[in-house]
Structure 1
């Protein structure tokens, strides 16, 4: 008979470990790049927010730990915290482009790993999908903020679109319905991060970078528009019922979108 832990509400180790790892990486950035107070504040606030949110999500689902793929996603989340700190710190000094792009590249590469790990280990879950999506969305938001400083505020639309969709889903609950899986949706999502990273690297002439970013935005608008139209046409057949109080989500429940490109 398994022994019940005497500390059922103890802070889960993985979220706490993520916060500690974030602090260590911020210290390394300070030692190597001279990360300033603004970057530190942004990094710490981000790490604490991720830790608290992840802890809450684990408790709501009755889980005590993360799966193998979730640990990969947590690593990506920590790298995203570093990118956030570097971008915010540009209020003090120019960002170290090489380091920023390298960290972003590793985070984007790991984005192709966590899904494979989940499928191969049989640990696919609604929590993992949501966690993966939120990390992707926030990384793209931060990159769009950075690129907007050189190309213009219009680039922010790329990073804001996923969050605008969430806001719109409150008065329009049919937007919360699950979508049929499409590989094009995943491809469009990956494309945003790749193009923003390349433009951030400043290896392209500015006009070329602007055109590439504009094309990425156009494809993103098309992807969102296509899926919004699908949800609208099927709004009666895909109605999302409110979850009764006290009922926990099961791993097979799909209540949220799992791709930032909609």
Structure 2
């Protein structure tokens, strides 16, 4: 009987999640069309790489949305985060062809990255205002930020603004996640800290700035090194906090 009651209780949430997933699917199709056009305009030729990668990311997000999102509406905040995922995928164009980071095209790439970064501060307030703030939306936002940072680091490296070590500036979180598979105590919840959010802004803001064609070595190397040191310090603080409580 208790199992039947639990299934009845979960049924409306599952129906709501499916309705939100349909909205995400339709939005993803629209964003994919726009992304294809922007990629063509930026690269000067048709390219499907950003569209395919965005589609994979949206599909994975949709699967987790069906499992964990309880509301019937997708919400403006999640729609905006999905749009940021599409814009992040656009960074695959200069990653594949680093010549696009030079001259006028380089400034276009910089402006697109700057717009993507500026939109990051809007989805949180939108979620709270609509009453749809929750763990899934926060995790979706964080994963898109991580993907954006990783792709930006790749573009910075390919453009020659910094060496291959700059990839750590975009992948250190994934290193931390991989380490938690071997050391499960690293996977424990961390307390909310403003420091973590501030360092994330500095990390992505620095990577966006390094894309600007005017930023050249050795200044780009110095900026990247400072940001990486700050990010490593933030992770070290969290690792020490977790180690003391294992």
- For Structure 1 versus Structure 2, the TM-score category normalised by the shorter chain is 0.7 to 0.9
Question: What is the match of residue 78 of structure 2?
Answer: 70
Write the deviation string for residues 222-250 of structure 1: whole angstroms up to 9, x where unpaired.
00000011111122xxxxxxxxxxxxxxx
Correspondence for 2:119 among 110, 127, 131: 110
Match of 2:166 in 1: 155
The runs of 5 or more residues in structure 2 that have no matched partner are: 1-11
- Superposition RMSD in Å: 2.3
Is 1:147–1:200's contact at 8 Å kept on the other side of the alignment? yes
Q: Which runs of 4+ in 1 moved over 6 A?
A: none
Q: Is the 8 A contact 1:77 1:135 kept in 2?
A: yes
Residue of structure 2 in register with 1:182 after alignment: 193
The structure-2 alpha-carbon separation of the partners of 1:52 and 1:65, relative to structure 1 and needing over 3 Å to count, comes to: farther
Report the CA distance between 1:70 and its aligned residue.
1.0
Residue 65 of structure 1 and its aligned partner are, at CA, apart by: 4.0
Q: Please state if 1:26 is matched with 2:36.
A: yes
In structure 1, runs of 5+ residues without a counterpart are: 236-262
Quick one: which of 83, 87, 96 aligns to 2:95?
87
Give TM-score scaled by structure 2 length. Answer: 0.84
Structure 1 counterpart SS, 2:90: helix
- Deviates further, 50-59 or 64-73: 64-73
Q: How many residue pairs get matched? A: 226
Between Structure 1 and Structure 2, the one with more helix by share is: 2
Residue equivalent to 1:242: none
